[in-house]
């Protein structure tokens, strides 16, 4: 049995097969990972630009009436330079005319007859955004390995990357194992339950922008399991199955991993829930996870262990920042031999409260949870106000 930290290290250090790239339209780039650095192809802003609608003039002139010599809309270069006693009306985003060193905002001006203007108020600001003040041509703005969010799309548009190089997504196969499982549209017989884990996992993968292949429910029979694991491994980069990894007589998965020549990197983690989580690799760099059959275990071990591996395939180092928030009530547990994950809710002061949680089979335990907290090995008691390590879910 290894610690959770050791298991995570294996996920981050295991050798991946050669990673592939593809060129895509930047508009479809959300949730993809950049395989190239993005540089500014021009200064930002590319010219001295007005930050206001107003009048561009010389600061030293602002207490005299001034003649308005030009109207400068955004998108057009000024035709006239400003000299003493002159100003140009200028729109937000338009280039500053030569000779002007400030913009007085329109709200602080009064129009007079004959294209004259007077200023009602001085301004301490220039209201000019100077050329290259945000970034210089050639400057790195988004690094290779960045997971693309909407704010990156804006930068890709601005920097002129209508096509971007991204890492290919891994292919993922998912199935559930267990004689007790039936599909959701069926009414279970007594002793049966409906298959929930596979659909939860398909959805978890979908939140990463990946459509996994679903292979159904596999009965607890060694040949069927052997064939399905073999098929999924041959067809996908990563296989995720649930059930069949514990100590029962019908838990054939570990043995079949051996028969298939998979090298098991871990099969027990000192964590609750999720202890029998199993991770194996074959000689061609195909990965297989065996997750426990309980829905809370399966959900959390996907979040903690599988997500980082999927992101590694996509060229991204996934290290979500855990939050440190205060407990809203005392917490106590009986045993402390393992790292425990406890589902919690936050109130509107960001205080953390455990939600009702009966254990790893408690199907609706995560419904109202905002996250899980990590209770380290050896710790049984925590007090209201103690900062706890929270992973948002």
Please identify, using beta-carbon distances, which residue of 183 and 284 lies nearer to a copy of itself: 183
Stretch that binds a copy of itself, among 80-88, 190-198, 231-239, 378-386 (CB under 8 A): 190-198
Minimal distance in Å, beta carbon 282 to a copy of itself?
Answer: 27
Nearest distance from C-beta of residue 163 to a copy of itself, angstroms: 9
Locate tokens 């009966």: which residue? Answer: 358
Q: Cβ closer to a copy of itself: 200 or 232?
A: 200
Nearer to a copy of itself, 282 or 392 (CB): 392
- Euclidean distance between CA atoms 392 and 43, whole angstroms: 38
Which residues, 9 to 48, sit near a copy of itself by CB under 8 A?
26-27, 30, 41-42, 44-47
Site for a copy of itself in 194-213 (CB under 8 A): 194-197, 199-204, 206-207
Applying CB under 8 A, which of residues 142, 172, 225, 375 lies at the interface with a copy of itself? 142
Work out which of 2, 141, 260, 382 binds a copy of itself, going by CB under 8 A. Answer: 141
Please identify which residue in the block is written with the tokens 């425990």.
Answer: 340
42 or 265, CB closer to a copy of itself?
42
**Dihedral sign, Cα of residue 54, residue 59, residue 65, residue 70:** negative
Q: Which of 81, 112, 157, 329 binds a copy of itself (CB under 8 A)?
A: 157
Q: Which is nearer to a copy of itself, 101 or 251 (CB)?
A: 251
Question: Could you tell me whether strands 271-272 and 339-346 are parallel, antiparallel, or unpaired per DSSP bridges?
Answer: parallel
Give the binding-site size for a copy of itself (rule: CB under 8 A): 102
Residues 238 to 297: which contact a copy of itself by CB under 8 A?
A: 246-251, 293, 295
Calpha distance 259→241 (Å, rounded): 17
Stretch touching a copy of itself by CB under 8 A, among 224-232, 278-286, 322-330, 375-383: 322-330
Q: Which of residues 47-76 bind a copy of itself (CB under 8 A)?
A: 47, 49, 51, 53, 71, 73-76
Q: Cβ atoms within 10 A of the Cβ of 273, count?
A: 25
Q: Is 323 near a copy of itself (CB under 8 A)?
A: yes
Contact between 187 and a copy of itself per CB under 8 A: yes
d(CA 296, CA 304): 12
Cβ burial of 376 (10 Å; 0-12, 13-18, 19+) is exposed
Angle among Cα 134, 140, 144 to the nearest 5 degrees reads 140
Which residues are CB-neighbours of 26 under 8 A, at least 6 positions away?
153, 156, 157, 161, 162, 163, 164
Q: In terms of CB distance, is 155 or 339 closer to a copy of itself? A: 155
CB of residue 321 vs a copy of itself: minimum separation in angstroms? Answer: 6
Q: Is 308 strand, coil or helix?
A: helix
CA pair distance 338, 10, nearest whole angstrom: 19
Q: Write the DSSP symbol of residue 2.
A: B
Q: How many angstroms separate the CA atoms of 373 and 272, rounded?
A: 12
Asked if 259 and 290 count as a contact pair (C-beta separation under 8 A), the reply is: no
């Amino acid at each position: 049995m290894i610690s959770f930290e050791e298991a995570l290290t294996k996920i981050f250090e295991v050798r991946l097969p050669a990673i592939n790239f593809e060129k895509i339209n930047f508009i479809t780039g959300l949730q993809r990972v950049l395989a190239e650095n993005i540089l500014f192809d021009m200064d930002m802003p590319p010219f001295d630009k007005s930050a206001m609608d107003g009048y561009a003039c010389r600061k030293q002139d602002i207490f005299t009436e001034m003649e308005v010599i030009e109207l400068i809309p955004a998108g057009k270069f000024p035709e006239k330079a400003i000299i003493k006693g002159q100003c140009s009306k200028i729109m937000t985003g338009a280039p500053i005319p030569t000779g002007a060193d400030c913009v007085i905002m329109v709200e602080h001006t009064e129009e007079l007859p004959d294209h004259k203007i007077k200023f009602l108020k001085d301004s301490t600001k220039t209201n000019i955004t100077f050329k290259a003040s945000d970034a210089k041509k050639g400057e790195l703005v988004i690094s290779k390995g960045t997971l693309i969010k909407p704010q990156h799309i804006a930068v890709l548009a601005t920097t002129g990357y209508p096509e971007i190089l991204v890492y290919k997504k891994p292919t993922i196969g998912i199935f559930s194992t267990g004689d007790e499982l039936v599909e959701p549209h069926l009414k279970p017989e007594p002793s049966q339950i409906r298959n929930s884990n596979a659909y939860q996992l398909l959805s978890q993968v979908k939140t990463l922008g990946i459509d996994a292949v679903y292979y159904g429910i596999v009965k607890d029979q060694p040949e069927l399991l052997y064939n399905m694991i073999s098929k999924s491994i041959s067809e996908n980069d990563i296989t995720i199955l649930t059930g069949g990894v514990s100590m029962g007589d019908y838990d054939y998965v570990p043995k079949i991993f051996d028969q298939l020549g998979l090298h098991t990197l871990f099969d027990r983690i000192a964590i609750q829930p999720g202890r029998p989580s199993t991770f194996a690799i074959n000689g061609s760099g195909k990965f297989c996870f065996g997750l426990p059959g309980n829905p809370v275990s399966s959900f959390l071990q996907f979040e903690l262990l599988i997500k980082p591996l999927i992101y590694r395939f996509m060229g991204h180092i996934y290290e979500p920042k855990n939050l440190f928030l205060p407990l809203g009530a005392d917490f106590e547990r009986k045993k402390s031999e393992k790292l425990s994950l406890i589902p919690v809710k936050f109130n509107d002061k960001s205080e953390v409260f455990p939600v009702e949680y009966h254990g790893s089979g408690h199907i609706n335990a995560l419904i109202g949870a905002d996250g899980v907290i990590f209770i380290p090995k050896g710790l049984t008691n925590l007090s209201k106000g103690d900062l706890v390590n929270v992973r948002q879910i």
